[in-house]
Amino acid sequence: MSSIGFLLTTAPVLAASDSWVVIKDKNGICKVIKDQEKTPKTIAGPFKTKEEAEKAKVTECAKGEVSTKGKATDLMEKAKEKVKAKVDKAKQKVKDKAE
């Protein structure tokens, strides 16, 4: 009977030591995993519940996507400006030759 009592008192303690972390793998994929400590791939956590980790995954992984999209947009704008400048220069050459 004492072994059952021991199991009933230690089981919640063992369950409470579980932690969840959000990691990003080498391909940039975010995952929630059960882990005892942080790893080099950890981007958020540890969390007591998987639900907390899932919420953090949404916000933390979105941060990386936003910055990537922002960089891509900046590069596109710069490319457009360069092309427009070349087109304007070519138009001016044609106009000068026509005169």
DSSP label at 24?
E
pTM score, whole prediction = 0.47
Dihedral through CA 18, CA 23, CA 31, CA 51, nearest 10?
A: 40
In this prediction, residue 11 has a pLDDT band, given cuts at 50, 70 and 90, of very low
pLDDT greater than 90 at residue 70: no
Mean pLDDT of all residues belonging to the chain: 77
If DSSP codes are grouped into helix, strand and coil, which group holds residue 66?
helix
Burial class (CB in 10 A: 0-12, 13-18, 19+), 57: buried
If DSSP codes are grouped into helix, strand and coil, which group holds residue 18?
coil
